[in-house]
Amino acid sequence: MKPRIAFVFGGSEGIGLAVAERLDAAGTRVVVLSRSEEKLAAARTRLGPEARSHAVDVTSAAAVTAAVDALVADVGVPDLVVTTAGYARPGYLDELPADDIAGMVATNLLGTVHVCRAVLPHLRAAGTGTIVTTSSMAGLAGVFGYTVYSATKFGVIGFSEALRREVRPYGITVKVLCPPNTLTPGFAEENHHKPAEVLAAEESVATLTPEQVADTLVRALGRRRGFLVIPGRDSRLAAVAIRHLPAVVDRALRRPTT
């Protein structure tokens, strides 16, 4: 698959930007979208002259729909829509700021829904297209210290699985990207808030670069089959263990006793 036009939400940094760079290098006309005009300007300098950007907050359904409709009128219907917009605020549930609880739900889960609702009429009319949503390894197994984040990422997988079955008759493909810890600006910010026990538990967890995650996704786009896209050998092994060895995974992921 070589998309002609791609919309990448959350494409101004991290995994989204790495995906946009690879698509741009392959000749795809890329539009990156995020809230920050400053970050979008920096992203455009890293992309080719054909790349476009648009500022939008995915937590606003009306804003997302308006942005998508305007871009479709301007550059055309995308063959590929990738949404990586999201964030994690680790911490134990009774200590999490209420604004971050609402913010993760609004950005990670509802933001994904808003993007898909906005692009779906255009893809359905075209009779083709691929949507890639972004969950996490924490969307496959609940991780202590990430209660609300895990809930939103489990929700993304459930939503995407149902959407996949809904839109398949229209020739639309849905995939879910499930990265492990990835060296993004957002991950660096997470580390400022992680309880000591969470940091200790992550010492043995493999961390990937955004480029490694993007390479895995781009390869997966060439395969029509395959719903979950899991970057990294360790993560793929972990996904097998989550499915077949739940008791072992539970012992590995539970909060240590003091």
Q: State whether residue 172 is helix, strand or coil.
A: strand
Residue 258 pLDDT greater than 70, yes or no: no
The amino acid at residue 41 is A
Instruction: Indicate which residue of 39, 153, 175, 194 is catalytic.
Output: 153
Q: Which of 56-60, 79-83, 222-226, 230-234 has the lowest mean pLDDT?
A: 222-226
Residue 190 pLDDT greater than 80, yes or no: yes
pLDDT value at residue 201: 80
Check if 160 is active-site.
Answer: no
Instruction: Indicate which residue of 39, 149, 175, 235 is catalytic.
Output: 149
Mean predicted lDDT score pLDDT of the chain: 95
CB 197 within 8 A of CB 258: no
Q: Which CATH number fits domain 5-253: 3.40.50.720, 3.30.420.40, 3.30.1330.60, 3.40.50.2000?
A: 3.40.50.720
Number of other residues whose CB lies within 10 A of the CB of residue 106: 16
Q: Which of 108-112, 160-164, 185-189 has the lowest mean pLDDT?
A: 185-189
Task: Give the residues across from 160 on adjacent strands.
Answer: none
- pLDDT band of 255, cuts 50, 70, 90: confident
Helix, strand, coil shares, percent, the chain, to 5: 55, 15, 30
Check if 39 is active-site.
Answer: no
pLDDT value at residue 1: 64
CB 156 within 8 A of CB 109: yes
Residue 152 pLDDT greater than 90, yes or no: yes
Number of other residues whose CB lies within 10 A of the CB of residue 51: 21
Check if 170 is active-site.
Answer: no
Instruction: Indicate which residue of 34, 53, 135, 235 is catalytic.
Output: 135
Residue 46 pLDDT greater than 80, yes or no: yes
Q: Report the distance separating Cα 235 and Cα 137, nearest Å.
A: 7
What residue spans of the chain are helical by DSSP H? 14-25, 37-46, 61-75, 98-104, 111-126, 147-167, 185-191, 196-201, 210-221, 233-244, 246-253
